[in-house]
Structure 1
Amino acid sequence: MITECTEADFAVLQDQLGRIPRGVVGIAARSTSGEPLVVATAPRLEDGTPFPTTFYLTHPAYVAECSRLEASGIMAEWTAEIGEDEELAVAYAAAHRAYLDVRSEIGSAAGLAEVVEIKDYSAGGMPTRVKCLHALVGHSLSAGLGINPIGDRALSFMTDVPPLAEAATTESTD
């Protein structure tokens, strides 16, 4: 569930990112202590720039673990597996469609017209490649396990991260 981004959350996000967060529409995932893990962003930033990364991973421990996994070279292995495993490819393509659907819902709720520049692009290399584990893990933390098989797989390799508060969903809190 995407929850409101309070002033305190915004300050935490700024500290986590080391910059002022852009396009924030809410917090998409939190730790058990309530700390933001993933921010939900608008598909178009305030300056008009299209922004495809709807679920932006912010928590330093998760970011570090994603970077560690990316540096290991595992993304090439997983990309090859998507090309060889039909069940995985179908599930990953479904994650891509789910990502696009939620981004469209977020844009509509924010009063934005369809962002045609990115309408067929999700994040992280979906639906055929593994390009950015940060984006895929952000999606898994936000949508809940069982939606993004590669994000879920990456999470299973992480050891030094705070626990997720609850099973996340992508429902908006109007």
Structure 2
Amino acid sequence: MSLTEQQLVIIEQQLGRKPRGIVDIAWQTDAGVPAVLQMRSLVEDQPFPTLYWLCSKDLYQAIAEIETAGEVKLIEQQIEQDEELREAHLADQQRYVQLRWDKMAQQDRLRIDELGFTELFNSYGIGGIRHWDKVRCLHMQYAYHLATGGAEKGGAEKGGPETGGTAVGRLLDDKFALNELSLTI
């Protein structure tokens, strides 16, 4: 782990508690404010539901308001009706599963196998969702988007096929301009 003491203090302020299971900062602002954490896949022998955890209070609040307004259902309807979006979203889910295995510590891989969780880790997508055509949590979706280049212009090598990030993350940026939100500690 390459986190500094200052970063850990900021993260604890953001979360309102001492963090556990952090591997590293997956995305931060140009000013160095952590916004997305990379998490261990196994914490105290329990599967952790997501590879990327949103720690920014500003993004958390903005996305909470979007979820409260019913956007998850609207996005799920779009995924159901738009074949191109559906294919991109399913590809994001598959990339997520592979990325989680790729970033996982060898000791966690072995322990996951010992505990009988291997199939769970092969079948559960973004945020621990089993039905990949659904959207469990926009916070986890957006964290994955940022961690895979969603905030960068022309970041195709880091995320989705045309630009960086994820299909759902791009929808959120297009509709709500989350990528333009000023993030504070």
- Quickly name the TM-score band, shorter chain normalised: 0.7 to 0.9
1:137 maps to which residue?
142
In structure 2, what is the Cα distance between the partners aligned to 1:110 and 1:158?
38
Deviation at 1:149, TM superposition (A): 0.6
In structure 2, what is the Cα distance between the partners aligned to 1:141 and 1:18?
22
Q: How does 1:18-37 map to 2 (within 5 A)?
A: 18-37=16-35
Deviation at 1:76, TM superposition (A): 0.6
In structure 2, what is the Cα distance between the partners aligned to 1:158 and 1:64?
14
User: Which segment is superposed worse, 112-121 or 14-23?
Assistant: 112-121
Closer, same or farther in 2 for the Cα pair 1:91/1:75, shift >3 Å?
same
Q: How does 1:1-174 map to 2 (within 5 A)?
A: 4-45=2-43, 47-107=44-104, 109=105, 111-113=107-109, 114=112, 115-116=117-118, 117-124=120-127, 125=129, 127-145=132-150, 146=163, 147-156=165-174, 157-158=176-177, 161-162=181-182
Extract structure 1 runs of 4+ deviating beyond 6 A: none
**Bigger Rg over Cα:** 2
In structure 1, what is the Cα distance between the partners aligned to 2:4 and 2:170?
28
Count matched residues: 159
Question: 2:27 touches 2:146 (CA, 8 Å); kept in 1?
Answer: yes
Question: 1:66 touches 1:133 (CA, 8 Å); kept in 2?
Answer: yes
In structure 1, what is the Cα distance between the partners aligned to 2:166 and 2:50?
15
2:153 maps to which residue?
none
RMSD: 1.9
Q: TM-score, normalised by structure 1?
A: 0.83
Q: TM-score, normalised by structure 2?
A: 0.79
Q: Which has the higher contact order (CA 8 A, sep 6+)?
A: 1
Identity %: 26
Higher helix proportion: 2
Deviation at 1:131, TM superposition (A): 2.1
Counterpart residue identity of residue 153, structure 1: L
* Structure 2 runs not aligned, ≥5 long: 151-162
